Amino acid sequence: MTENTALPRIFSGIQPSGVPTLGNYLGALRNWVRLQEGHACIFCVVDLHAITVWQEPRALAAQTREMAASLIACGIDPERHILFHQSAVRAHAQLAWIFNCVARLGWLNRMTQFKDKAGKDREAASAGLYVYPNLMAADILAYHATRVPVGDDQKQHLELANDIAQKFNHDYGVDFFPAIEPLIMGPAARVMSLRDGTKKMSKSDPSEQSRINLTDDNDAIALKIRRAKTDPAPLPSEPVGLEGRPEARNLVGIYAALADLPTAAVLAEHGGKGFGAFKEALAALVIAHLAPIAAETRRLLADPGAIEAVLRAGASRAAAIADPIVAEAERLVGFLARA
């Protein structure tokens, strides 16, 4: 298949570190589906990134298939665009090694996500977690992608990717890697944990009650929302009343994002009510969005071989783009040709 080269090329990645959550959906996947119009998209299940923290091998394989099925169920089209798993395209690791030698330790030391993810025991974190942003730069630049949809938390990594591209171009006296533009996707979306409104909802959070998975059945969704942490006051009638109330703000934010309404409109309708009634309305809305996705994911997962075939086909299309770009980067560095 020849790829469409006239459209701006977008690279998007998600880790198969668990079942995708409502946070992943509102912050990333829903936007990815929309970006398919007008762009040539490369969607990658980033298993190399996932192993920067421990992953049980069998679980990782299953989660990679599940992530691919969920993406397709959300509306990613693996025929018109490219969907694959990162480890299947060697160019990512090859370019990441070159970037490990371009990026400076001082740059990596400033990355706040490493500090957050490594936690208190930094000495015990993997070296992979530390150089994660270099691999992310390689993911994007191996395709000469110029746009990357990111949330606020990833902006710092994109700046680093641009620094790496510029330093490579400068060191080797070329204009080879393009500048990358972040595509900041709307206000929707930083979805917080249902147990703690100050912590982001994460697929790897040890508490199952903290998140809504895209594969949860309707009863599980309703129960998790009913049990979500709130405060005793009723919902305010205006957004200013959400200040200092992170749990209330989170639930209202989820409602607004799913209903595609401004927060003020949600509060104009539900303000003054207790959380009981609001949670019921929210559960109905979440179920209306997620039930069809969960059903389609289950249907796709009934044939794991077919999912793997989709990923392999995507990988060979991805490699056809990335291999020549990385071979040229290697030539510029001074490596002898591979073949």
23 binds ligand AQP (CB under 6 A): yes
- For ligand AQP, give the closer residue by CB, 4 or 204: 204
Residue 203 annotated to the active site: yes
Question: Does 154 sit near ligand AQP (CB under 6 A)?
Answer: yes
Nearest of 129, 91, 34, 70 to residue 293 by alpha carbon: 70
Closest distance between ligand AQP and the C-beta of residue 13, in Å?
Answer: 6
> Which candidate in 120, 203, 224, 279 is catalytic?
203
Residue 298's contacts (CB-CB under 8 Å, 6 or more residues apart) are 215
Least distance between ligand AQP and beta carbon 253 (Å): 10
**Near ligand AQP in 92-151, by CB under 6 A:** 150-151
Active site residue 120: no
Among 200, 229, 273, 279, which one carries the catalytic annotation?
Answer: 200
Examine residue 203 and tell whether it contacts ligand AQP (CB under 6 A): yes
Chain residue whose CB lies nearest ligand AQP: 27
Contact between 190 and ligand AQP (CB under 6 A)? yes
Residue 34 lies near ligand AQP (rule: CB under 6 A)? no
253 is an interface residue for ligand AQP by CB under 6 A = no
83 binds ligand AQP (CB under 6 A): no
Catalytic residue among 115, 117, 155, 273: 117
Q: Which sequence positions are flagged as catalytic? A: 117, 200, 203
Binding site for ligand AQP (CB under 6 A): 13-15, 17, 21, 23-24, 26-28, 150-151, 153-154, 189-191, 200-204
